[in-house]
Amino acid sequence: MTRATIELGDVTPHNLQQLKRLNQVVFPVSYNDKFYKDILEAGELAKLAYYNDIVVGAVCCRIDILDGSRRLYIMTLGCLAPYRKRGIGAKMLEHVLNFVEKDGDFHSIFLHVQVNNQSAIDFYKKFGFEIVETKEQYYKRIEPADAHVLMKLLRPQRSLSEPEK
């Protein structure tokens, strides 16, 4: 028997609704129209994950600039419950990691995780992320409201203001 295939695909105006549908069930937070409008412009930073040709996951990132250095912020990375632990999250995260590596000009990748979401924390730790901060009352309307900030430093020695020799 063949193994399941996992592939990534672009987000387009035609399939945007699938992304919304997915985020609705995967995340307790609901995202506004602006979020989805920006996604359409995000290119490689927003991807749908297909498992045997079905949309089961998605990753959406944006580029934040802080202290003059570019950081990749993972806004959402999620997968439908029945399809977890099958390498789909890894495939999406690897895509993001490849992207920043290829670009070569990112200081770090970071994201927020609800403090009780242990499986997510473990997942990111496997890829070299560390908890660097905990923000209290980060989320509105969901419990627990606190969030860890997970970060993976890409080039700790360098920032934009301090070019490499």
Partner 1 sequence: MPSSQPLPPKENALFKRILKSYEQKQYKNGLKFAKQILSNPKFAEHGETLSMKGLTLNCMGRKEEAYEHVRRGLRNDLMSHVCWHVYGLLQRSDKKYDEAIKCYRNALKWDKDNVQILRDLSLLQIQMRDLEGYRDTRYSLLRLRPGQRASWIGFAMAYHLLHDYDNALQVLDDFRKTLTKSSYDYEQSELLLYMHQVMFEGGLYQKSLSHLQQFEDQICDKLSLMEARAQLYLKLDRQKDAEEEYRKLLKRNPDNRQYYFGLEEARGLTNEDIKLQMYAELRESYPRAILARRIPLSYASGEKFRSLVDQYLRHALHKGAPPLFVDLRSLYAQPGKAAIIEELLLGYIASLIKCERFDEKDVKDGPAEPASAILWTYYYLAQHYDFHKDSAKALHYINLAIDHTPTLIELYVTKGRLFKHAGNPIEAYRCLDEAQSLDTADRYINSKCAKYMLRANLIQEAEMTCSKFTREGVSAMENLNEMQCMWFQTECAVAYQRMGKWGEALKKCHEVERHFVEIIEDQFDFHTYCMRKMTLRAYVGLLRLEDVLRSHPFYFSAARCAIEVYLHLHDHPLQDEPTKEELQEASLPPLELKKLRAQQRKAAKKAEQEKQEKLLQQQREQREREQREREQRDPHTDAPPVDDLQPQKLARVEDPLDQAIKFLQPLQEWGSNHIEVHLLAFEVYLRKGKPLLMLQSVKRALKVDPNHPQVHSCLIRLHRFLTNGDLLSENVSHPAVTSVLNSETQPLFSNHNDAEQLNKEFLEQNKNSLPHILQGAKMMCFLNPTREAEAVALVSRFSDAYQGVTVQTCSDILKAFQKGEFGEAGRQEIDDFKALCHQRMPHAVDFFSGQQVAPSANHNHTVEEVLTNHVSNLTVEDGTN
The residues binding partner 1 (CB under 8 A) are 1-4, 12-15, 17-18, 21-22, 24-25, 51-56, 80, 82-83, 86
Q: How far apart are the first and last CA of the chain?
A: 54
Sign of torsion over alpha carbons 62, 68, 146, 111: positive
Active-site residue list: 73, 112
CB of 15 to partner 1, least distance (A): 6
Nearer Cβ to partner 1, position 23 or 108? 23
Nearer Cβ to partner 1, position 54 or 65? 54
Nearer Cβ to partner 1, position 24 or 134? 24
CB of 58 to partner 1, least distance (A): 9
- According to DSSP, residue 154 is labeled S
Q: At what angle do helices 118-126 and 88-103 cross, to 10 degrees?
A: 50
Q: Other CB atoms closer than 10 Å to residue 44's CB: what's the count?
A: 14
Nearer Cβ to partner 1, position 52 or 119? 52
- Helix (H, G, I), strand (E, B), or coil: what is residue 15? coil
CB of 9 to partner 1, least distance (A): 12
CB of 82 to partner 1, least distance (A): 5
- Unique residue bearing structure tokens 């209290």: 136
| Token pair recorded at residue 14 | 């035609």
The CA distance from 67 to 69, in Å, is 6
- According to DSSP, residue 5 is labeled P
